[in-house]
């Protein structure tokens, strides 16, 4: 594709939108995009799978012709097993070729439901029940990633048909891969795919509480997957490292189907993806060997790569795309200066098939920006007031509000329609929950989450701006600012940081040095805690709920120790439904007066607390 076909600004998007939609996209289903690429580039590599992180191990390539044949075989197999268009296939597997066959084949026969295999077994059971999955495809026994043992603990799993991914070069009889080879390489049925047919169910909303399944149509997923490459600067010659899991929209669409749709190649790094220590150690050498042109990583991985010496020729690598959590401006600048690769940012959501906006490669990086809206979509910033998005109003350029969007990528809602309120709103608008603003040239800037806003008294504090102040300090590698419970102000800011390699500095010293740079006095953190590593989600995002729970434990322990000196106690906090619950274990016989004294000390701290006495 010529550079002229790539998007470099809002004017290019508006010019493209003058083309009728059906002429601007070659297929309105995920299968049509894959089949189209296979027709154009049957002999090109779709995947290069790395069985382990050692350079001496031979990779396993998969061509587009092989990919399409195996997607067809998977669809035939699922239909043979009774999967109809309204039935789901649950998939618990890493980002390896066999899991792709299951994911895209399930969308032809019925609906795919990829599940995070790192969830607790009872949560997996809830997702299986909510999806109505007739068939489960899961990674079999594996020394590096023990999905199989987790699956065996899932209540009711014995009542479902389970297919085992072998993931070896010579799959055993009875494995998913062996069953595929017994199926025809072309479809044996007419799937009758339409843009409005449900293609997938993706879970979202964290790892606790009732299951929350987002419905994607084929049209939703095709929209994001097709138009993304125009921003990325990708074509059939692109070679990208995709270490994201397929239960996440980034692995499946943002960096997955978006590359498959145009005939590019994905390097899939081992069953453990970007968590494989050997692969990360040899990262740059793999880039050279495989001719990598593009990287895809969350900001925490970029921070790690900043500290990984470049020991190979990486001159072909043009760009590192990142998203999943806010991209600190200092980190992007450090990566570009130290590694010499351009960084561009993305904003995505599960509810819109993975993409809201993208920073174009063929335009300068705009610090703090998440890029431009996708073609044929609308993105607005509206006031957030009284706990809701005010859809009848707009914020002016540069004014902060909540980001809302609509377009062909917006899903029809959750499987439980009762949960749509506040997210899937009237007239097709999706309320992202992200705070930000649009600048004068249409670039979207994200400053935080509406639910992440720290409310100190009646004063709203944007944690992203405080994090930027800490990340500008040369000792700080990562920073996360969250609310600490406070009996007077409701909550106050507290900062967690990790340090650059070889650096030693206390939290108190950092706080003293950074305080003058914080944008306003009420936003100065009450404390700074230095961590060895940040808690992260399955895709490497900083997991702020874990940090909030840690602050609850710390704060309550301090308050109770002062209220009842000499009393041995321990505080543990966990999420229960939508709110945290603190449990205080007191090493003493039941004492109503002592419990009342401690409850009074907690005062107006808005955390539900239970006391347990143990003599």
**pLDDT, tens digit (0-9, with 9 covering 90-100), for 485-538:** 887 777 899 999 999 999 999 999 999 999 999 877 888 999 999 999 999 887
**Length of the chain counted residue by residue:** 615
pLDDT attached to residue 87: 98
The predicted model gives 463-481 an average pLDDT of 93
**Closest alpha carbon to 61 in 209, 203, 265, 207:** 265
The predicted model gives 111-115 an average pLDDT of 98
CATH topology of domain 3-447: Rossmann fold (3.40.50)
Strands (E), 157-297: 161-165, 198-203, 213-217, 239-242, 265-269, 294-296
Question: Which residues, including other chains, have CB under 8 Å from residue 593's CB and lie 6 or more apart?
Answer: none
pLDDT attached to residue 207: 37
Higher pLDDT, 541 or 366: 366
In this structure, of 30-34, 240-244, 304-308, 360-364, the range with the lowest mean pLDDT score is 304-308
In DSSP notation, 444-461 reads EEEEEEGGG-EEETTEEE
- Which class in CATH covers the domain with range 453-542? alpha beta
In this structure, of 113-122, 191-200, 371-380, 599-608, the range with the lowest mean pLDDT score is 599-608
Instruction: Please provide the CATH number assigned to the domain covering 545-613.
Output: 3.30.1340.30
Per DSSP, the chain holds a count of helices (H) and strands (E) of 19, 30
Strands (E), 310-392: 319-322, 342-347, 357-358, 369-373, 378-382, 384-385, 388-389
Whether residue 458 has pLDDT greater than 60: no
Count Cα neighbours of 298 within 13 Å in the Cβ-side half-sphere: 24
- Locus of tokens 């189209």: 36
528-530 and 569-576 strand pairing: unpaired
Quickly state the pLDDT bin for 206 (edges 50, 70, 90): very low
pLDDT attached to residue 535: 93
pLDDT attached to residue 260: 98
pLDDT attached to residue 300: 77
Q: In angstroms, rounded to a whole number, what is the distance separating the alpha carbons of residues 571 and 25? A: 55
The pTM score is: 0.81
Q: In angstroms, rounded to a whole number, what is the distance separating the alpha carbons of residues 252 and 273? A: 14
**580 neighbors 552 (Cβ within 8 angstroms):** yes
H helix or E strand, kind and range, residue 476: strand 476-486
Q: In angstroms, rounded to a whole number, what is the distance separating the alpha carbons of residues 341 and 295? A: 9
Higher pLDDT, 65 or 600: 65
The predicted model gives 168-185 an average pLDDT of 97
Is residue 43 classed exposed, middle or buried when 0-12, 13-18 and 19+ CB atoms within 10 A define those classes? exposed
**pLDDT per position as a tens digit, 6-41:** 999 999 999 999 999 999 999 999 999 999 999 999
H helix or E strand, kind and range, residue 375: none
**Closest alpha carbon to 166 in 150, 147, 185:** 147
pLDDT attached to residue 386: 75
Question: Which residues, including other chains, have CB under 8 Å from residue 319's CB and lie 6 or more apart?
Answer: 232, 233, 293, 294, 295, 341, 342, 343, 344, 361
Question: Which residues, including other chains, have CB under 8 Å from residue 527's CB and lie 6 or more apart?
Answer: 484, 494, 495, 507, 511
pLDDT attached to residue 120: 81
**200 neighbors 87 (Cβ within 8 angstroms):** no
Query: Which residue ranges make up each domain of the chain?
Result: 3-447, 453-542, 545-613
Write down the mean pLDDT value for the chain: 93
> Could you tell me the CA-to-CA distances from 504 to 233, 335, 510 in Å, in that order?
41, 22, 10
Tokens (6 digits) for 328: 């600190």
Three-state SS at 89: strand
Higher pLDDT, 208 or 399: 399
The predicted model gives 328-340 an average pLDDT of 88
pLDDT attached to residue 208: 40
Burial 377-388 (b: 16+ CB within 10 A, else e): bebbbbbbeeee
Q: What is the DSSP letter of 134?
A: E
């Amino acid at each position: 594709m010529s550079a002229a076909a790539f998007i470099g600004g809002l004017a290019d998007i508006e010019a493209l939108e003058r083309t009728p939609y059906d002429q601007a996209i070659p297929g309105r289903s995920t299968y049509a995009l894959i089949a189209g690429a296979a027709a154009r580039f049957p002999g090109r590599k779709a995947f290069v799978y790395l069985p382990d992180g050692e350079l001496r191990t031979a990779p396993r390539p998969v061509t587009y012709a092989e990919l399409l044949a195996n997607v067809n075989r998977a669809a035939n197999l699922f239909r043979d097993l009774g999967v109809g268009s309204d039935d789901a296939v649950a998939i618990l597997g890493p980002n390896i070729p066999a899991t792709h066959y299951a994911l895209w084949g399930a969308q032809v026969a019925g609906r795919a439901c990829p599940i995070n295999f790192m969830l607790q077994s009872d949560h997996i059971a809830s997702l299986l029940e909510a999806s109505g999955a007739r068939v489960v495809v899961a990674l079999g026994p594996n020394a590096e990633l023990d999905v199989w043992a987790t699956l065996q603990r899932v209540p009711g799993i014995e009542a479902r048909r389970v297919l085992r991914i072998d993931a070896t070069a010579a799959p055993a009889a009875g494995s998913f891969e062996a069953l595929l080879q017994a199926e025809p390489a072309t479809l044996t049925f007419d799937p009758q795919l339409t843009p409005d047919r449900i293609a997938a169910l993706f879970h979202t909303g964290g790892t606790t509480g009732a299951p929350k399944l987002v419905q994607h149509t084929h049209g939703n997923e095709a929209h994001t997957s097709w138009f993304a490459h125009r921003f990325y600067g990708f074509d059939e010659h692109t070679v990208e490292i995709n270490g994201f899991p397929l239960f996440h929209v980034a692995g499946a669409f943002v960096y997955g189907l978006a590359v498959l749709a145009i005939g590019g190649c994905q390097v899939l790094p081992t069953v453990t993806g970007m968590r494989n220590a050997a692969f990360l150690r040899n990262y740059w050498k793999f880039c050279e060997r495989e001719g990598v042109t593009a990287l895809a990583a969350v900001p925490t991985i970029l921070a790690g790569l900043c500290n990984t010496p470049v020991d190979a020729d990486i001159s072909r690598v043009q760009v590192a795309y990142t998203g999943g959590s806010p991209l600190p401006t200092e980190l992007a600048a450090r990566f570009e200066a130290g590694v010499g690769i351009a960084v561009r940012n993305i904003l995505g959501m599960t509810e819109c098939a993975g993409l809201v906006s993208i920073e174009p490669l063929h335009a300068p990086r705009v610090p703090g920006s998440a890029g431009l809206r996708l073609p044929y979509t609308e993105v607005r910033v509206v006031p957030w007031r009284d706990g809701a998005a005010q859809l009848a109003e707009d914020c002016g350029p540069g004014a902060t509000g909540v980001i809302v969007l609509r377009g062909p990528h917006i899903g029809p809602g959750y499987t439980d329609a009762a949960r749509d309120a506040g997210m899937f709103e009237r007239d097709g608008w999706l309320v992202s929950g992200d705070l930000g603003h649009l600048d004068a040239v249409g670039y979207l800037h994200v400053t935080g989450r509406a639910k992440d806003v720290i409310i100190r008294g009646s004063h709203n504090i944007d944690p992203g701006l405080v994090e930027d102040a800490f990340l500008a300090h040369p000792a700080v590698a990562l920073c996360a600012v969250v609310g600490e419970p406070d009996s007077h102000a409701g909550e106050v800011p507290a900062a967690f940081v990790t340090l650059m390699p070889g650096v030693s500095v206390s939290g108190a010293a950092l706080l003293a040095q950074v305080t003058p740079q914080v944008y306003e006095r009420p936003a100065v953190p009450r404390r700074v805690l230095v961590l060895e590593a940040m808690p992260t989600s399955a895709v490497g995002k900083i997991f702020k709920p874990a940090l909030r729970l840690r602050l609850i434990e710390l704060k309550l322990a301090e308050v109770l120790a002062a209220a009842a000196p000499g009393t041995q106690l321990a505080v543990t906090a966990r999420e229960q439904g939508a709110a945290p619950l603190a449990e205080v274990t007191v090493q003493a016989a039941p004492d109503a007066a002592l419990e009342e004294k401690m409850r009074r000390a907690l005062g107006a701290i808005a955390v539900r607390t239970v006391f347990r006495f143990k003599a």
